[in-house]
């Protein structure tokens, strides 16, 4: 059920998106990623007592195809942001390795752009200048300016271009942060709950916008979210992070979280938000997150193979 | 009828923002008047205590006598010279000390290695009282300008160094990480994220440094100088000219306050721009 959206979209939305069509996208390859944090020993703890490192992630192996949209779901504190930070080179895995486009990731990579969970805008710069921070280094002044203007238009912040971050709302700041990540025109776009602070309506609009951008320039997107519907609406594939069944708490407090479910979302985008097929998947994901689904499954099988891109 | 009514809401709306009551304590006229109130009262008490004979003129000369001393010094050409030379020493010493302070503060604030290496030594040097340097500087650098400017620079260095290094250590790490994630590093990261983040503290450091520069200037001039307000103090102390001593104190207070006010205006502007 692959659609032709990727081939027609550049013609349909060239004026709205600023990303050039020659955008390249890269594969992301996690192999056996594990990450544990060592907490600082508490004051008054016996000297010499070693604090065991607390595992947060373990055995995360996953290949994200070029141009694929992967949603990462999981309960709060299970390590979603940690995984994304590792992919962006902002954090290093304790074990395992990560490759982008086949080459091992070494520190911060110019091919990736990160939209952080918090907006993280520089308070002394205007919204436009903040977005300009995301521009690739080699880009010219005039081109950069028009790109920033186009991105601000895209996220609906044109009239706030000259405002300081503290003079705009939280949702606006988050949209500015998204625009900053898009300004990179990255091969891999890492988004950490990019729509978390938005109201329901703006959130739906921004989801569609992200799909437009992706259709015009199909970059690889890793999208962290806690919203099952958002994942179903946007992603080609969804992974659910959590503890294995034998561990006793959801966030994987003892052993660290790993991929407990992986499912391919059927159908091309944009998807019907109310379809029965998605409802079934939603139930399954919610169950995986530890939520009672309040009803019986209707038995729609989800494929576990990854269809070839473009879908 | 309607025509006369229509402008009403418009004018009311136009007038309302201007009419919004400004707090009395933030009105400019009140601020200036309020600030001048206490000095005027002091002047009055000073004059009264002399006219009523509470203190003798040999202990405390009257305001008029101090004023005449100023005129006298001015006519000899000394007043302008002393004020100019003192201000010059402060400004040059402040410029040198503050620049070194920013550089050392940036180094210690950004690099752990430099912090380990430098901060104990600099902390110890800071603990040395200003007067302790004077004999040493006089022997090393002589009686000329260098020794005074060096002492003023030492005085200006430490407030800037301390505030800059502390502020850099407390820059929001989230912002620094965001800068790094978008490909900034080294000097570009410093100018784009860390420096703007600490500019308000740098400026308040500069303000403290300027005040300290005046303190160290007087220390330098008291003990070894042939010109300047500090020299005026020590010379008048020697020959008992209390009117000139009071004149020098008043001049130091007024000039110090003026230079501080200039930096204060700059601080306000910068805080608007950067914070
Ligand atoms: N720098 C760090 N030092 C110590 N522990 C950390 C650090 N960063 C993350 N952790 C721990 O790792 C775990 C996962 O954090 P992470 O931010 O990845 O969660 P998350 O899945 O993004 O949660 P949320 O949905 O609430 O954002 C948390 O328990 C957190 O305490
Ligand atoms: Mg998170």
Residue among B129, B91, B92, B35 at smallest CA distance from B255 = B91
Q: What strands, in cross-sheet order, belong to the sheet with A54-64?
A: A54-64, A28-37, A95-100, A103-104
Please indicate, yes or no, if residue A227 is contained in any of the structural domains: yes
Task: Tell me the nearest-neighbour CA distance from A182 into chain B, angstroms.
Answer: 11
Query: Please, which contacts does B25-28 make with residues 24 or more away whose CB atoms are closer than 8 Å?
Result: none
Please give the helix or strand (H or E) that residue A208 lies within, else none: helix A200-216
What is the model's pLDDT at position A310? Answer: 56
In a domain, A27, yes or no: yes
Residues A33 and A60: beta-carbon distance below 8 Å: yes
Count of the separate structural domains present in chain A: 1
Selected for mutation to probe chain B from A108, A115, A173, A191 (highest B CB count within 10 Å) is A108
Best-predicted range by mean pLDDT among B153-157, B189-193, B201-205? B153-157
Give the pLDDT confidence score for residue B212 in this predicted structure: 92
In angstroms and rounded to an integer, the radius of gyration of the C-alpha atoms of chain B is 25
Range of the domain at A82: 1-6+16-35+52-107+220-311
Top-confidence range, A174-183, B21-30, B56-65: A174-183
- Please tell me the residue having the least CA distance from ligand 1 atom 28: A77
In this predicted model, what pLDDT tens digit does every residue of A167-210 receive, in sequence order?
998 889 999 999 999 998 889 999 999 888 788 888 888 898 89
- Can you tell me which residue has the tokens 């504190």? A77
**Are residues A90 and B177, on separate chains, in Cβ contact within 8 Å?**
yes
Region of poorest pLDDT, from A10-24, A135-149, B39-53, B223-237: A10-24
Among protein residues, the one with the nearest Cα to ligand 1's atom 30 is A77
Cα(B271)–Cα(B200) distance, rounded to whole angstroms?
A: 6
Is A75 exposed, middle or buried (CB count within 10 Å of its CB: 0-12, 13-18, 19+)?
buried
Burial class (CB within 10 angstroms; exposed 0-12, middle 13-18, buried 19+) of B140: exposed
In short, whether A77's Cβ falls inside 6 Å of ligand 1 is: yes
Task: Give domain status of residue A304, yes or no.
Answer: yes
Ligand 1 pocket: which of A55, A74, A81 to mutate (most atoms <8 Å of CB)? A81
Q: In what order do the strands lie in the sheet with A258-264?
A: A112-115, A188-192, A220-224, A69-74, A237-242, A258-264
> What percent of chain B is predicted at pLDDT more than 90?
41
Nearest to A122 among B175, B177, B180 (CB): B175
Distance, C-alpha A98 to centroid of its chain: 16
φ and ψ at residue A267, rounded to 5 degrees: 90, 150
pLDDT of amino acid A50: 64
Nearest CA to ligand 1 atom 16: A79
Whether omega for the bond prior to residue A270 falls within 30 degrees of 0, making it cis, is yes
In percent, the amount of chain B with pLDDT more than 70 equals: 92
Q: Note the pLDDT of residue A305.
A: 56
Q: How far is A251 from chain B (nearest CA, A)?
A: 24
Most confident among A238-242, B224-228, B271-275 (mean pLDDT): A238-242
Give domain status of residue A281, yes or no. Answer: yes
How far does the centroid of ligand 1 lie from the alpha carbon of residue B156, in Å?
Answer: 44
User: Mean pLDDT over all residues of chain B?
Assistant: 86
> Token match 């992974």: residue?
A239
The CA A291 to ligand 1 mean position distance, Å, reads 21
Task: Confirm whether A79 is domain-assigned.
Answer: yes
A298: in domain: yes
Q: SS3 of A72, please?
A: strand
Q: Tell me the pLDDT tens digit for each residue of B164-173.
A: 999 998 899 9
Question: Are A120 and B174 within 8 A, CB to CB?
Answer: yes
For A107, the closest chain B residue by CA position comes to B181
- Chain A residues touching B199 at Cβ < 8 A: 124
* A124 lies within 8 A of chain B by CB: yes
| Partner B contacted by A180 (CB < 8 A) | yes
Residue B10 has pLDDT above 50, yes or no: no
Helix B78-110 with B242-274: angle, nearest 10 deg: 40
Q: What is the DSSP string of A238-272?
A: EEEEE--TTSSSTT-TTT-BEEEEEEEPPSPSSPP
Residue B199 has φ and ψ, to the nearest 5°, of -55, -45
CB-based contacts of A297, cutoff 8 Å, min separation 6: A280, A283, A284
Give me the numbers of helices (H) and strands (E) for chain B, helices first please. Answer: 13, 0
Query: Domain holding A224: CATH number?
Result: 3.40.50.300
Q: Measured at the alpha carbon of residue A160, what is the angle toward residues A172 and A20, in degrees to the nearest 5?
A: 80
Beta bridge partners of A37: A54
B6 at A interface, C-beta within 8 A: no
Ligand nearest to the CA of A87: 1
B152 pLDDT band, cuts 50/70/90, is very high
How does pLDDT run along chain A (311 residues), one tens digit per residue? 333 333 333 333 333 344 444 568 898 999 988 999 887 655 555 555 566 788 889 888 999 999 899 999 988 888 999 999 999 999 989 999 999 988 888 888 888 899 998 999 999 999 999 999 999 888 888 999 999 999 999 888 999 999 999 999 888 999 999 999 999 888 999 999 988 878 888 888 889 889 988 888 889 999 999 888 889 989 999 999 988 755 455 554 567 888 888 888 887 777 777 788 888 888 888 888 877 666 554 444 555 555 555 55
**Which carries the bigger pLDDT value, residue A308 or residue B197?**
B197
Q: Smallest Cα–Cα separation from A176: which of A199, A152, A150?
A: A152
- Predicted pLDDT of residue A23: 62
Instruction: Give the start-end residues of each E strand in A65-147.
Output: 69-74, 95-100, 103-104, 112-115
Position A25 scores a pLDDT of 87
DSSP letters along B154-196, please? HHHHHHHHHHHHHHHHTS-HHHHHHHHHTT--HHHHIIIIIHH
pLDDT of residue A306: 55
Residue A311 C-alpha from the chain's centroid? 19
Distance of alpha carbon B199 from alpha carbon A51, whole angstroms: 39
In a domain, A76, yes or no: yes
Q: Best interface-test mutation with A: which of B178, B185, B195 has the largest number of A CBs within 10 A? A: B178
- Looking at chain B, how many residues does it have? 275
* A3 close to A269: Cβ distance less than 8 angstroms: yes
> So what's the pLDDT on residue B67?
92
For strand A112-115 and strand A188-192, is the pairing parallel, antiparallel, or unpaired? parallel
* Mean pLDDT along residues B176-204: 89
Among residues B187, B89, B201, B196, which one has the least CA distance to residue B146?
A: B89
In a domain, A98, yes or no: yes
- Quickly count: other Cβ atoms within 10 Å of residue B79's Cβ: 19
CATH homologous superfamily, domain B60-273: MetI-like (1.10.3720.10)
- CB-CB contact of B187 with B131 (8 Å): no
Output the pLDDT for position A297: 45
């Amino acid at each position: 059920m692959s659609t032709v959206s990727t081939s027609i979209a550049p013609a349909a939305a060239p004026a709205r998106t600023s990303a050039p069509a020659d955008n390249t996208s890269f594969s992301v390859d996690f192999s056996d990623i594990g990450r544990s944090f060592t907490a600082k020993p508490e004051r008054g703890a016996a000297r010499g007592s070693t604090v065991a490192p607390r595992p947060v992630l373990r055995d995360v192996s996953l290949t994200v195809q070029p141009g694929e949209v992967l949603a990462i779901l999981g309960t709060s504190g299970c390590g979603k942001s940690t995984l994304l930070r590792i992919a962006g080179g902002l954090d290093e895995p304790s074990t395992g390795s990560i490759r982008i486009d086949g080459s091992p990731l070494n520190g911060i990579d110019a091919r990736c752009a990160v939209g952080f969970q918090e907006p993280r805008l520089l308070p002394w710069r205007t919204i436009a200048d903040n977005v300009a921070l995301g521009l690739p280094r080699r880009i010219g002044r005039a081109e950069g300016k028009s790109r920033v203007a186009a991105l601000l238009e895209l996220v609906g912040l044109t009239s706030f271009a000259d405002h300081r971050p503290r003079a705009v709302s939280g949702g606006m700041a988050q949209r500015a942060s998204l625009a900053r990540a898009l300004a990179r025109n990255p091969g891999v776009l890492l988004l950490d709950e990019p729509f978390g602070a938005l109201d329901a309506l703006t959130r739906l609009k921004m989801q569609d916008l992200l799909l437009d951008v992706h259709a015009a320039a199909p970059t690889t997107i890793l999208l962290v979210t806690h919203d099952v519907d958002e994942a179903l609406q946007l992603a080609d594939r969804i992974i659910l992070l959590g503890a294995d069944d034998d561990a006793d708490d959801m966030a994987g407090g003892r052993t660290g979280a790993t991929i407990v479910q992986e499912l391919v979302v059927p159908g091309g985008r944009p998807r019907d938000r109310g379809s029965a097929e998605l409802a079934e998947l939603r139930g399954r994901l919610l169950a995986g997150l530890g939520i009672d689904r309040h009803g019986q499954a209707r038995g729609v099988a989800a494929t576990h193979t990854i269809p070839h891109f473009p879908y | 009828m309607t025509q006369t009514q229509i402008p009403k809401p418009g004018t009311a709306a136009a007038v309302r923002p201007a009419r919004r009551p400004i707090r009395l304590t933030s009105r400019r006229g009140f601020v200036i008047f309020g600030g001048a109130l206490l000095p005027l009262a002091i002047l009055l008490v000073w004059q009264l205590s002399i006219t009523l004979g509470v203190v003798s003129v040999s202990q405390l000369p009257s305001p008029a006598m101090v004023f005449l001393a100023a005129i006298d010094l001015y006519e000899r050409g000394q007043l302008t010279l002393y004020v100019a030379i003192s201000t010059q020493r402060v400004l040059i010493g402040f410029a040198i000390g503050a620049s070194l302070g920013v550089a050392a503060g940036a180094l210690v604030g950004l690099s752990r290695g430099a912090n380990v290496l430098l901060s104990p030594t600099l902390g110890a040097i800071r603990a040395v009282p200003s007067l302790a340097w004077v004999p040493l500087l006089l022997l090393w650098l002589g009686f000329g300008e260098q020794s005074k400017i060096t002492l003023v620079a030492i005085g200006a260095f430490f407030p800037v160094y301390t505030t800059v290094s502390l502020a850099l250590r407390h820059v929001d790490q989230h912002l620094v990480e965001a800068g790094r994630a978008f490909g900034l590093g080294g000097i570009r990261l410093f100018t784009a994220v860390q420096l703007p983040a600490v500019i308000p503290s740098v400026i308040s450091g500069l303000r403290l440094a300027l005040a300290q520069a005046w303190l160290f200037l007087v220390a330098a001039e008291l003990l070894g100088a042939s010109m300047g307000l500090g020299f005026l103090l020590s010379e008048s102390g020697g020959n008992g000219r209390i009117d000139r001593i009071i004149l020098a104190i008043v001049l130091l207070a007024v000039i110090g306050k003026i230079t501080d006010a200039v930096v204060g205006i700059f601080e306000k502007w910068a805080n608007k721009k950067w914070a």
